[in-house]
Structures are given as C-alpha cells and as structure tokens.
Amino acid sequence: MADAQDCAVNDASRWQNLSYQSVDSDADGHRASSSGQLCAGSALPSSHSASAVAASDVDCNDSDASLWRILPYVSRDADADGFSLAASGEVCSGDALPAGYGTTAPQATLADCDDSSATTWRVMMTYGDADGDGVGAGAGEVTCIGTNAPPARSLLGYDPVDDPSDPTAISVSNLELSAWQLTTP
C-alpha cells in the first residue's frame, strides 16, 4: 500500500516506522540500550526490541559477540609473562575474564615488578659485576629481573679484588715471577 506514511515506498515488506528501545547488533542474544525508530513491516527485526534493557543486563560491547558482560578482576598480567600484579577493576568480558585478567591476587612477594616487560618479573638483590665474571662486589641493589641478572650485575655479591679467577685481577706474585724469569740466566 503506497501512501504518504509508507516509510519504504519501493519495499512491500516495510511500510511503517516502529519505535525501539534496545538493539543486539552483534546477534549474541544480549542487548544494548539504544532508542529510535526503524522502518519495518508488522514487527521490528530480531536485532531490535521495543523493550528497554535493564541496566544490569546491558551488552558492554555490542559489536563483538564474544563480549557482553562486565566482570570484576583483582589482578593483571599485561605483559603475558605468567606473573601478575594486584590491580582491581571491571572489564567487558564473555563467559570468563579475558587473558591477562585474574580473580586471584598474587602474594606480595610473587607480584610482577615490571608488568610492561615479559622478561622481568621478580625483585632480587644484585651486585655490580664490572668484570663480567658472574660474581659482583660492593653494596647490593634491589633490582627487577627475570631469569638472570641484567648486564654488569650479578646475583652473587662477593668478589675480592685479589681473586685469581677474576679476569681483570692482576696477581702481583705472577708479575714478579715473570720479571725474575726474564732477568735470570
């Protein structure tokens, strides 16, 4: 029936504007609040509803069918290294929290000390190791590390100056012996 109130004159399946209060754009069965009018036939399409959606049931991401509800979290692992830090909040989720969010807070001693780097996660005392022999010296420094100490640092902290295994150490007795051997007939 073509007349002045027909909203789609060239489409026999649509002829009237119907009001809607919520939509399900991603077809996941969860609706988002949105209102307006839509040119339709005898009823709104399945993606639109004349009913408003309850605030507690609103789809938090109506463009992704795998996400529809807000869930709380108490830990984060942003760098995906398997070590998390205590952080709480809420995130748009599906059946479960997305990767990198947890429901259990880590023990303070096991918390990730650098959640922006997957290669560092634990706090250890390290010592300066200028000669690179794996044994440091001097005062210890609290350092965020991964499996190993960073370059020029060591997890071991005793390196006496006269240690013969130290590649930069000079043994006075060896120098004296070499000089004696060169001058003795």
Residue 84: inside a domain, yes or no?
A: no
What total of structural domains would you count in the chain? 2
Residue 113: inside a domain, yes or no?
A: no
Q: Which residues pair with 16 in a beta bridge?
A: 40
Given a contact cutoff of 8 angstroms between Cβ atoms, the answer to whether 143 and 151 are in contact is no
- Is the pLDDT at 178 greater than 50? The verdict is no
Averaged pLDDT, 3-22 = 91
| pLDDT tens-digit map of 144-159 | 999 999 999 989 877 6
**Choice between 143 and 167, residue whose per-residue pLDDT is larger:** 143
What's the domain range around 25? 1-58
| pLDDT tens-digit map of 78-137 | 999 999 999 999 999 999 999 999 999 999 888 999 999 999 999 999 988 888 888 888
Residue 140: inside a domain, yes or no?
A: yes
CB proximity list for 12: less than 8 A, separation 6 or greater: none
- Cα distance between residue 48 and residue 185, in whole Å: 106
Residue 150: inside a domain, yes or no?
A: yes
pLDDT of residue 7: 92
Residue 95: inside a domain, yes or no?
A: no
Residue 127: inside a domain, yes or no?
A: yes
pLDDT of residue 136: 82
- Is the pLDDT at 41 greater than 50? The verdict is yes
- Cα distance between residue 107 and residue 110, in whole Å: 5
Residue 166: inside a domain, yes or no?
A: yes
pLDDT of residue 133: 80
Residue 98: inside a domain, yes or no?
A: no
